[in-house]
Amino acid sequence: QSALTQPRSVSGSPGQSVTISCTGTSGDVGGYNYVSWYQHHPGKAPKLVIYDVTKRPSGVPDRFSGSKSGNTASLTISGLQAEDDADYYCCSYAGDYTLVFGGGTKLTVL
């Protein structure tokens, strides 16, 4: 079970859009529509921002959106705001009741 691949860092200015990719295999991301994304501010509990590839939990702004193509899932944050500056992790079901996370992406709002 290998970690999903995410870029180490991305950046954008306030108001811009950024996309974070999450690449796996047909055994995880490509095989199931159980991809979720988490926002993590250091010292705080991670927060669910996208689940089931494209769905947003109640209370998460519609600036956050998710998609998937083949073995790669993506999180797009539009209209960047200062509070979006955080680490982001993808997670996928990987079969046999196991979960696998990505290595994390540091988003810097310039």
Partner 1 sequence: QLQESGPGLVEPSETLSLTCTVSGGSITITTYYWAWIRQPPGEGLEWIGSFYYTGSTYYHPSLKSRVTISVDTSKNQFSLNLSSVTAADTAMYYCARVFRATDYLDSWGQGNLVTVSS
Candidates 36, 39, 65, 74; binder of partner 1 (CB under 8 A) is: 36
Q: Does 30 bind partner 1 (CB under 8 A)?
A: no
As a whole number of angstroms, the distance between CA 102 and CA 110 comes to: 24
Closer residue to partner 1 (CB): 8 or 13: 8
Candidates 22, 74, 93, 107; binder of partner 1 (CB under 8 A) is: 93
* Stretch near partner 1 under the rule CB under 8 A, chosen from 16-24, 51-59, 64-72, 74-82: 51-59
For residue 19, what are the β-bridge partners?
Answer: 76
Smallest CA-to-CA distance from 32 within 76, 96, 102, 104 is with: 96
Closer residue to partner 1 (CB): 38 or 109: 38
Residues in the chain: 110
Q: Does 60 bind partner 1 (CB under 8 A)?
A: no
C-alpha distances in Å from residue 8, one per residue of 31, 38, 50, 62, 103: 24, 15, 19, 24, 8
Supply the minimum distance, in Å, between the C-beta of residue 97 and partner 1: 4
